[in-house]
Amino acid sequence: MDHLSCLENQSIYIIREGYNRFRDVAMLWSIGKDSTTLLWLIRKAFFGNIPFPCLHLDTGYKFREIYEFRDRIAKEWNLNLKVHKNETAIARGVSPHTGKLECCTELKTNALKDAINALRFKALFLGIRRDEHGIRAKERVFSPRDKQFEWNYKSQPAELWDQYKTETLDDEHIRIHPLLGWTELDIWEYIRREGIPIVLLYFAKNGKRYRSIGCETCCNPVDSDADTVDAVIEELKTTTLTERSGRAQDKESAYMMQKLRSLGYM
């Protein structure tokens, strides 16, 4: 079996296993290339009818193209789309302009906590990959979170020879990562093979393209002429830039900004 089919089979196995174990599940759909690939795989796993909701955490700052894509695909694929916003924080005036770290915490992290509590999901499918970021390399396919939604990286179950831990304590919930072993290049090659629709922001326009998308306020395009899937794949084979280099901030500068803002220095 070729590499992509192998990845596809593994992912579909994980998706079915996760649903079979937990039932009260949802998938987190950021509308980016990874979670849209995950969505594609979940549709395959259930022959076109996804038996659980797709959750979009809407910060209100996503690109217009993202919203349009979301609404079009949700309709075409007949998704049970649930859009969740942290309205309390937004009413309080939290925004990227008042502090990016707080904004992310409130409009993404806390919005997710709210959604899980309100909709009572026992497990969530996410499209994260080990090669995205150092901290994600330590992730598990079935990854427990405690009551406070904390991920204790010191007590993660071993996943030797693909033996997954699917039992949970009552106050835990599980994050399921069917794409964990995929690389950015695998994703693009699979998108090409399957013809998966993705947001056009990933393709170059006027010499720039987005390699990673999220909120418009916090994403920058990279220099690129790759305007087709083929060209993107060629670019990825040679680039030395990291995938998330266009994302606004690492934690360190976010910390400094918060510090300077609290002192009125910015």
Partner 1 sequence: MNLPKTVVIGIDGVPFDFLIQQCDKKIMPNLADIIANHPHKKMKSVYPAISAVAWTSYMTGRNPAVHNIFGFIDRNPNPLELIINTGAMRKCETIFESLSKKGYRVISINVPMTYPPFPVNGIMVGCFMTPEISKVSYPEEFYRYLESRGYVIDPDARLFDESPDKFMHDIHRSLDARLAIGFDILEDRQWDFYQLHIMESDRLFHFFWDSATGNGQYSDACRLVFRKIDDFIGRVCSFIPKDARLLILSDHGFCKTRREVQLNTLLEKAGLLSFVSGKIKSLATMHPSTVCYSLIPGRIFLNLSGREQYGTVLQRDYDTVRHQIKDVLQNLKDPETADMAIDKIFFREEIYSGPFLHRAADIILHPKNGYDLKSHFDKDHVFMMSNISGMHTYDDAFICGINLPIEKVDEIKDVRAILES
Q: Which residues bind partner 1 (CB under 8 A)?
A: 61, 95-97, 217, 220, 251-253, 255-260, 262-266
Q: How far is the CB of 257 from partner 1 (least distance, A)?
A: 6
Q: Which is nearer to partner 1, 109 or 220 (CB)?
A: 220
Nearest 5 degrees, angle CA 117-CA 119-CA 124?
85
For the CB of residue 259, give the shortest distance to partner 1 in the complex, in Å. Answer: 6
| Minimal distance, residue 114 CB to partner 1, in Å | 22
Is 100 within 8 Å of 254 (Cβ atoms)? yes
Closest CA to 47 of 23, 15, 25, 95: 15
| CA gap 237, 179 in Å, rounded | 20
Exposure string of 118-127, with b = 16+ CB inside 10 Å and e = fewer, is eeebbbbbbb
For the bound state, the minimum distance from the C-beta of residue 190 to partner 1, rounded and expressed in Å, comes to 31
d(CA 135, CA 48): 33
Which H or E element spans position 17? Answer: helix 3-22
Nearer to partner 1, 57 or 215 (CB): 215
Nearer to partner 1, 181 or 221 (CB): 221
HSE, side-chain direction, 13 A CA sphere, residue 45: 23
Q: How far is the CB of 68 from partner 1 (least distance, A)?
A: 15
Q: Output 156 or 258, the one with its CB closest to partner 1.
A: 258
Strand 25-28 with 123-125, pairing: parallel
Instruction: Name the strand (E) or helix (H) holding 26.
Output: strand 25-28
Strand bridging mode 173-176 / 222-223: unpaired
* Six-digit token string for 194: 């399957």
For partner 1, the closer CB: 61 or 77: 61
Contact criterion met (CB below 8 Å) for 207 and 60: no
Q: What are phi and psi for residue 57, nearest 5 degrees?
A: -85, 110
Q: C-alpha distances in angstroms, 169 versus 14, 109, 122, 177? A: 20, 22, 10, 19
Between residues 56 and 100, which has the closer beta carbon with respect to partner 1?
Answer: 100
Taking the complex as a whole, the smallest distance from the CB of residue 135 to partner 1 amounts, in Å, to: 15
Q: Which is nearer to partner 1, 200 or 256 (CB)?
A: 256
To partner 1, the closest distance from the beta carbon of 28 in angstroms equals 25
